[in-house]
Amino acid sequence: MYTNILLPVLFGKDHDTESAFQIAQALAGDGTQFTIIHVLEPIPSYAAAEIPAHILKERHAEAEAALQALADKLSGAKTAFASGQAGRAIVQYARENSTDCIVLASHKPGLENFFLGSTADRVVRHATCAVHVIR
């Protein structure tokens, strides 16, 4: 069984966190560390300059609260944020934190990524640990 499981999440109704949590628990051993991560894609500088600083702080605080609410559903889970392109950031976080399994939900893809969603595709192709994709 796995000892350090990473669960990337999106905030939204069409992201299946419940199934990901159930799979993660089934794959876990005694004392497994769960980390729930959300990747914040950077705001382009031309757009960020037009957004008041207090709005950015409020949105970040809302994201932290939402992530913690998800973590509270999985006993002992910790939270993390990463920045950048989602697929790259998830793989990098997993490498830097000795993750041995990533449990990832995938959306229904379009023609440009027929078999997996673009983030899931990147994670599967570049992760150095086991990846379980839920559809």
Per-residue pLDDT of 12-51, as tens digits, reads: 766 778 889 999 999 999 999 999 999 998 889 898 889 9
Say what the pLDDT of residue 17 is: 85
Contact 127, 94 (CB under 8 A): yes
Task: Tell me the H-state helices in the chain.
Answer: 17-27, 45-48, 53-71, 86-96, 118-126
The CATH number for 17's domain is 3.40.50.620
pLDDT tens profile 62-99: 999 999 999 999 988 999 999 999 999 999 999 999 99
What mean pLDDT do residues 100-128 have?
Answer: 77
pTM of the model: 0.88
How many independent structural domains does the chain possess?
1
- Of 78, 87, 92, nearest to 106 (Cα)? 87
Which two structure tokens, joined as six digits, stand for 72?
Answer: 């509270």
Q: Which domain holds residue 127?
A: 2-134
What would the mean pLDDT of 2-7 be, rounded to a whole number? 97
Residue type, 77: A
Task: Report residue 49 CA to chain centroid gap.
Answer: 27
